[in-house]
Structure 1
Amino acid sequence: MGGADSTDQSGGHRAYIGSFTSGGGRGITTAAVDPATGELSPLTATGVLPDPSYLAVARDTGVLYAVSEAEQGAVAAFEPTAEGLSPLGAPARVGGSGPTHLSLAGRRLLTANYTSGSVSSLPLAADGSPAGPASVLTHQGSGTDAERQDRSHAHQVLPDPTGRWVLSVDLGTDSVRVCALDAATGELRVHAETALSAGTGPRHLAFHPDGTVVYVLHELVPQLTVCRWDPTSGQLEPVGEVPVASEGPSGAARAYPSAVVASPDGRFVWAAIRGADTIATLSLAGGAEKPRLTGTVACGGSWPRDLAVDPSGRRLYAANEHSGDVSWFDVDPQTGHPRKAGSVAVPAATCVVFC
């Protein structure tokens, strides 16, 4: 974490935890991370931004960015200090409603606006704070689920590892759009759109570390779509589908997958599944394009909205929204299966990021 002190007094590093203030959360919690055990120890919290449900850290400056998942969506920046977080400039409107995800692409901040079905691009000022006006690309279309897919619902926006392309995942249209980002204007332009299975509701994706395979996790059907990614042409090609949940007994809670991450060494993929309240492990022993479900474990709480792997790849962290906690897991280096190692109370927890 550049430009600020990234360590706590014990020599560990920091984690930031987002939450829904409308659900009793404290906003953004800063926590110390014990490097030996992975334990999180909350230090401070800031509630100045309503519903900071998703966070991202700029690796070069250490600035923390957060969405405000509200009707008039906004983003804000925070500078880490020894005491916690200090607001960096004023929040900026994203020109859309219900932003659920954000990421950085060079000197632009990108948001996926679920309610309005759009993605936004905002410039960053010299100090790292977001500035307006936002450039907005509105998605068009709908899906087969009348209740959840009546229109577009952009849920994630993420640059590819080369930084040349931006991928936006749309739950409402069962598709992933590949966009080009104009470096001068910040405008996003649709380059291609990849259709996925109807009614599956794609929510989040993760790149394999080699940058040529993409794993798209669906919310409405508990499965993962494996896609081949060509960074030269900007084309995303589905090559297979894999379940992330076993068939449960009759009357079992419906599964609503939420987040997918790949291990830094490229050997495993993990998915968080709400309703079933589990974490699924998929092995890539057969190759990056052939994940295989090898087991599931309890997420340590209820409704795991986010799943994060620490920088070492040795631990997983689940932000359990309904039970109000973050649980951490040691990862078996041979099987990839997580084993719960601890938990800390964080009301309405939604996201975990590390610096």
Structure 2
Amino acid sequence: MLFLALGLGLLSALVQTGNAANIFVSHYSGTIYSLTLTGSGSSYTLTQNSTVAIGGQPSWMTFNSTTRELYVSDETGSGSAQVASVSAATNGGLKLSGKASAPLGAVANVQYGGGNYLASAHYQTSMITTHKLPLTSGASAFQTFTLTMSGRGPNSRQDVPHPHETIVDPTGAFILAPDLGADLIRIYKIDASTGKLTACTPYTDTPGTGPRHATFWGKNTLYVGNELANSVHSFSVSYPAGGCITLTKLQTLTTMPGGKSAPSGTKVGEVHVKDNFLYASNRRDLTFSPNDSMASFSLDTSGTMTFQGLTSSGGTYPRTFQVNQEGDLVVIGDQTTANVVVVKRDVSTGLLGPQVASMRIGSVGQAENDNGLSAVLWDE
């Protein structure tokens, strides 16, 4: 019986090890964390692996699973800012591997051009910049686009352009940048031979929309989460021969049941697609008071959205989230409560919940401030 007990205990440990997954976390305090999630079924545990202090205000991470490099944006608002790279070992170890100078207020970045370049969105300074990789000390931006707009928007936050993300289209030929301040989706064509970007005619949205975050579903459908309107747009994407891509709006839904308006103070965060489902985070809606919510939508074969429901984000101000590749787990980063939450996902229905793990990371933040937890990513 003792042998049997020991054998079962060893088997349990092996099962947990076999189901281990690493999660990367950035915190506005200037630290990057590596966590390990172990378990299965409804029993999971989060443990901290490693940390690395990189300074500044880390706001976003892009992970290259081939080179195992994290590229970290810096939202520092005064003085000097940086863009950094962090090497991630398979056992969760982290090490600062590169830095380069960058304009202030970067909130997102994306790797492009065969992994040789990084394009960043600078919310505060109204810029799009690119850097050559790898990042080296003393290096500055490869290209800088200073953005303009014709006049103030209807929202008080629309005083100047505020690009909030950079994403690469599925063909790898274009970069899109939702601009919350200017109500534009900016489009840039990539020169494959040089890595340089050329600005195309942007898509102009309804004043006061505030596009923030975008995701592609296949090659020809784009979804954009709108922070000021608390809605999601769907677009068809066309690729004229030799020209720039064009967007045609197809549908708009709010991130609340029944198409209702979001509670005052709500701000849509990220949007992501997995299979035939779309997800959006609702920051400061307090639907599951004191916690905020995650909205889910089903997609038909044409990409038309149907609202499914809301589930708890497990904390407040869910700035960031990601579905794992297998599709059965979602990691959520709640900025203000500074906790990493993992919830189950039904791969058939796309519905989220229940919560299976949660862990506080660093110091908590304050609503509407650039502190607390900033980003989460699966090590995949």
TM-score normalised to the size of structure 1? 0.88
| CA-CA distance at 1:223 after TM superposition | 0.5
2:335 matched residue in structure 1: 321
Distance in structure 1 (CA, Å) of the matches to 2:33 and 2:172:
30
Letter in 2 for 1:190: A
1:14 matched residue in structure 2: 22
2:369 matched residue in structure 1: none
Distance in structure 1 (CA, Å) of the matches to 2:260 and 2:106:
35
Matched, 1:152 2:161: yes
Query: After the TM superposition, which residues 1-355 of structure 1 pair with which residues of structure 2 at under 5 Å, given as runs?
Result: 10-11=17-18, 12-21=20-29, 27-34=31-38, 36=40, 39-71=45-77, 72-81=80-89, 82=91, 84-89=93-98, 91-94=99-102, 96-105=103-112, 106=114, 107-125=116-134, 131-141=139-149, 142-208=151-217, 210-232=218-240, 233-246=244-257, 252-263=263-274, 265=275, 267-276=276-285, 277-284=292-299, 286-339=300-353, 340-347=355-362, 348-355=372-379
> Secondary structure of 1:53's partner?
strand
Q: Cα–Cα, structure 1 residues 150 and 342, in superposed 2: closer, same or farther, change >3 Å? A: same
Distance in structure 2 (CA, Å) of the matches to 1:335 and 1:39:
25
Q: Cα–Cα, structure 1 residues 290 and 345, in superposed 2: closer, same or farther, change >3 Å? A: same
- What is the number of residues matched between the two proteins? 335
| CA-CA distance at 1:294 after TM superposition | 1.2
What do residues 108-140 of structure 1 show as CA deviations (whole Å, max 9, x unaligned)? 011100001111110013xx6584343111221
Distance in structure 2 (CA, Å) of the matches to 1:341 and 1:244:
24
| CA-CA distance at 1:13 after TM superposition | 3.1
1:3 matched residue in structure 2: none
Distance in structure 1 (CA, Å) of the matches to 2:169 and 2:129:
16
Q: Cα–Cα, structure 1 residues 309 and 143, in superposed 2: closer, same or farther, change >3 Å? A: farther
1:6 matched residue in structure 2: none
Distance in structure 1 (CA, Å) of the matches to 2:181 and 2:74:
21
Q: Cα–Cα, structure 1 residues 184 and 257, in superposed 2: closer, same or farther, change >3 Å? A: same
> Secondary structure of 1:178's partner?
strand
| CA-CA distance at 1:195 after TM superposition | 1.1
Distance in structure 1 (CA, Å) of the matches to 2:40 and 2:239:
37
Q: Cα–Cα, structure 1 residues 35 and 123, in superposed 2: closer, same or farther, change >3 Å? A: farther
Letter in 2 for 1:282: F
Name the structure with the higher helix share.
2
CA contact (8 A) 1:78 1:85 kept: yes
Distance in structure 1 (CA, Å) of the matches to 2:334 and 2:206:
28
Distance in structure 2 (CA, Å) of the matches to 1:167 and 1:155:
10
What do residues 169-218 of structure 1 show as CA deviations (whole Å, max 9, x unaligned)? 1000111011012344433211221111210100000111x221000000
Distance in structure 1 (CA, Å) of the matches to 2:321 and 2:185:
21
Distance in structure 2 (CA, Å) of the matches to 1:167 and 1:196:
14
Which structure 2 segments of 5+ residues have no match? 1-15, 286-291, 363-371
> Secondary structure of 1:10's partner?
helix
CA contact (8 A) 1:93 1:134 kept: no
Which structure 1 segments of 5+ residues have no match? 1-8
Letter in 1 for 2:108: H
Distance in structure 1 (CA, Å) of the matches to 2:34 and 2:50:
5
Q: Cα–Cα, structure 1 residues 249 and 239, in superposed 2: closer, same or farther, change >3 Å? A: closer
What do residues 138-192 of structure 1 show as CA deviations (whole Å, max 9, x unaligned)? 2211552342000100100111111111111100011101101234443321122
Letter in 2 for 1:332: D
CA contact (8 A) 1:15 1:354 kept: yes
Q: Cα–Cα, structure 1 residues 148 and 290, in superposed 2: closer, same or farther, change >3 Å? A: same
| CA-CA distance at 1:86 after TM superposition | 1.2
| CA-CA distance at 1:252 after TM superposition | 4.6
| CA-CA distance at 1:102 after TM superposition | 0.8
CA contact (8 A) 1:122 1:186 kept: no
Deviates more, 1:233-242 or 1:150-159: 233-242
Deviates more, 1:315-324 or 1:247-256: 247-256
Letter in 2 for 1:345: R
What do residues 214-234 of structure 1 show as CA deviations (whole Å, max 9, x unaligned)? 000000111001011124551
Distance in structure 1 (CA, Å) of the matches to 2:375 and 2:330:
12
